[in-house]
Amino acid sequence: MSVSFTIAARAGEARAGLCRTPHGDFETPAFMPVGTLGAVKAVTPDDLRGIGATIVLANAYHLVLRPGVEVVRAVGGLHRFMAWDGPILSDSGGYQVFSLGPLVKVTDEEVRFRSHIDGSEHHLSPERAVEIQADLGVDISMALDHCPAGDAPDQVHRAALARTERWARRCLEARRPGQALFGIAQGGTDVALRRAQIDALAALPFDGYALGGFAVGEPRAQTHATIQAVAPSLPSDRPRYLMGMGTPEDIVAAAAAGVDMFDCVMPTRGARHGLLFTSRGKLNVGNARYAADPSPADPACRCATCAAFSLAYLRHLYKSGELLWHRLATIHNLAFYLALMRRLRSAIVEGRTLYSPWGES
């Protein structure tokens, strides 16, 4: 396999591991900053390296629409295109396609959809999804899955599971030599359906396994309960990935259930809207109480933003619409998330349970 995984320590169901890829290793639990279009919004690859990021996520659906996979391939692949030399995982685009609603037509053969950018028509089959990700040159590709809404009727979830399993087999048949591929288990919050699909996918030779289709409309408490019930059923010798769900509380709960990899737009999207994650909890920088505050956003944080800038200055940048705000806030929020991963790993190695995502970062 082009991706290998070893477990260094356990604490209950939680695992601390090491994943090796063609572009380097990353320790788990791992958070992947989201670079949907080949860029983590507002920051450079050097910024990411400086705060300790070891793997990033890109999205095949968006890159196909713009600039086009042919462009990325022509300049040497996605690593060269975005000047990131570490591991990259790409989402196949299944979630994005199915979130388009009336713009999508699904058959067992493929998905036909219209671009949200210009209305042009595209098609995506399991074979095409694997081909696109191979052409992008990413380290970890994702199988194409069918992701229904969390509150969809039972028969819709059952049909999606059957289609996801058929597509998983086609993705495996289409992958190129050396291409690492993760399978995705659906099933909503029905534990029996989730476990049935996990059992079916575990019999297939994927390099890792993901839980998809969470945080799509179902109650959060129900989501956590389902993850805790099914994550330990995923193959124990492969990486386990919870897709697109990532409040700090989500990550701590899922890591305790044995999940290894996470991604979420929350730290970058929150930064754009004035939200900072700190060891004291969430902070809305637009609050008037920070107008003359000389302290850093988080005294416990060691990122470049907290080392140099006061809350008063950060609030000024945000309220003034200065572009620098986006960079400084994104650096801080991602640094908080990556520090949380290190705290989780240390707790697992030491045999402790990390109950809170807050505290010293």
Cα 254 from Cα 236, distance rounded (Å): 15
Cα 319 from Cα 331, distance rounded (Å): 18
Residues assigned a catalytic role: 91, 263
Q: In what order do the strands lie in the sheet with 104-106?
A: 104-106, 111-114, 121-124
| DSSP-assigned beta bridge partners for residue 2 | none
Q: How far is CA 113 from CA 62, 162, 166, 273, in A?
A: 13, 21, 20, 31
3-state SS class at 168:
helix
Strand 275-278 to strand 281-284: parallel, antiparallel, or no bridges (unpaired)?
A: antiparallel
Residues 6+ apart with CB under 8 A from 72: 38, 63, 78, 81, 135, 136, 137
How many degrees, rounded to 5, is the angle at CA 243 between CA 252 and CA 205? 110
> Which of these, 32, 11, 90, 13, lies nearest to 254 by C-alpha position?
13
- Chain position carrying tokens 């995502």: 357
